[in-house]
């Protein structure tokens, strides 16, 4: 029965992400925000909701290790699984300065977490306040520099404000409800095999909560709007590490689990640096990146269960 619930959760993820994408694009067009900014500020906030819902649920039930593992694992999946599959559908043939800047921000945040984890830092609500304020500043900056060009979304269908809001709200409901079903089933299945909570979070649950990003990425790639997908991935990772990670500290003070601190977090900084170097030196994300990334993700998941 748990496997049927997982399938139901995945279907709700897909429908929810579709509604969020359509509604958010329509609303953002009316505020003259560029496609990359839409992805990194608006849509990434919506597609990060499964991570938020799952992590809050996990923390409220005493599974803090699961929540932290989910966030780190989700970021890893976003960079090499979701972005890898996206560029296999349609490559990104031109990388701009703003995209490189957002990748550097991701790297800096990861380095800070690595340093704090090495010091056995206790993440409390003081950290949470600073983290959320930093997220607001980053997103405000992104909107400011990304609000000068809407030519890349002119051909997208525009809904009325009411319909656009309705699509977003229904999409959010689907995502949150689907994530709750998914996490319950995933944890139940993995626990039956004796898998540690942090490993469950970094692999199975992380993959499930990254499905909205996958739907958005493929949806955008099929329409040759991969810069939108890249913005969503980079923005979602920032939301995860600053917004959701920060919010968790208001519910419970915690340390990063030993397994995550000694392994997963280093994988996260490695894959984030990897996509930056690929973007910087090759000025594109092509099918070679996609193939290498998928192979890397298979190796990562395999290493968790060996």
Strand-pair partners of 92: 285
Residue 60 falls inside a structural domain: yes
Asked whether residue 4 is domain-assigned, the answer is: no
Task: Look at residue 156 and tell me if it is in a domain.
Answer: no
Tens of pLDDT along 108-137?
999 999 999 999 999 999 999 999 999 999
Closest CA to 150 of 47, 37, 21, 24: 37
Q: What is the pLDDT, as a whole number, of residue 148? A: 40
* Stretch among 39-48, 103-112, 193-202, 280-289 having the lowest mean pLDDT: 193-202
Determine the structural domain holding residue 65 and report its residue range: 34-149+195-305
243, 129 contact by CB (below 8 A): no
Q: Is residue 127 a part of any domain in this protein?
A: yes
Q: pLDDT class for 149, splitting at 50, 70, 90?
A: very low
- Residue 41, domain member (yes or no): yes
Which of 185-194, 222-231, 270-279 has the largest mean confidence?
270-279
- Into how many domains does the chain fold? 1
| 24 within some domain | no
29 part of a folded domain:
no
Question: Is position 168 within any domain?
Answer: no
How do residues 198-240 score in pLDDT, each as one tens digit? 676 666 666 666 777 777 777 677 777 777 788 888 988 999 9
C-alpha count within 13 angstroms, C-beta hemisphere, residue 142: 28
Mean per-residue pLDDT over the chain, rounded: 82
Here the CATH number for the domain that contains residue 277 is 1.20.1420.30
With vertex at residue 42, the alpha carbon angle to CA 51 and CA 201, rounded to the nearest 5 degrees, is 10
The answer to whether residues 67 and 55 touch, using CB atoms and an 8 Å cutoff, is yes
pLDDT digits (tens, 9 = 90+) for 51-109: 787 788 788 888 888 889 889 988 999 999 989 999 998 899 889 888 899 899 999 99
- Measured in Å, how far apart are the chain's first and last C-alpha atoms? 27
CA dihedral 242, 248, 249, 253 (to 10 degrees): -130
């Amino acid at each position: 029965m748990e496997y049927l619930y997982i399938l139901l959760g995945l279907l709700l993820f897909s429908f929810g992400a579709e509604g969020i994408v359509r509604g958010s694009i329509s609303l953002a067009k009316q505020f003259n925000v560029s496609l990359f900014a839409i992805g990194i500020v608006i849509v990434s906030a919506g597609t990060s909701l499964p991570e938020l819902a799952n992590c809050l649920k996990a923390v409220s039930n005493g599974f803090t290790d699961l929540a932290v593992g989910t966030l780190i694992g989700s970021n890893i999946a976003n960079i090499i699984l979701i972005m890898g599959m996206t560029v296999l559908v349609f490559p990104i043939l031109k990388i701009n300065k703003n995209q490189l800047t957002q990748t550097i921000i991701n790297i800096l945040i990861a380095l800070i977490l690595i340093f704090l984890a090495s010091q056995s830092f206790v993440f409390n609500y003081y950290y949470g306040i600073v983290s959320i304020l930093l997220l607001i500043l980053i997103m405000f900056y992104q909107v400011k520099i990304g609000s000068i060009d809407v030519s890349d979304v002119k051909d997208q269908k525009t809904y009325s404000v009411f319909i656009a809001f309705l699509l977003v709200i229904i999409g959010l409901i689907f995502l949150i409800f689907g994530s709750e079903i998914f996490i319950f089933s995933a944890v139940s299945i993995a626990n039956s095999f004796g898998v540690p909570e942090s490993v469950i979070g970094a692999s199975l649950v992380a993959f499930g909560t990254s499905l909205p990003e996958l739907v958005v990425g493929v949806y955008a790639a099929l329409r040759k709007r991969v810069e939108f997908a890249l913005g969503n991935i980079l923005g979602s990772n920032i939301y995860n590490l600053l917004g959701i990670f920060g919010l968790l500290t208001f519910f419970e003070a915690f340390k990063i689990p030993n397994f995550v601190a000694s392994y997963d977090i280093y994988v996260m900084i490695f894959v984030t640096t990897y996509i930056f170097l690929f973007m910087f030196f090759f000025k594109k994300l092509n099918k070679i990146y996609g193939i290498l990334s998928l192979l890397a993700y298979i190796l990562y998941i395999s290493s968790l269960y060996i």
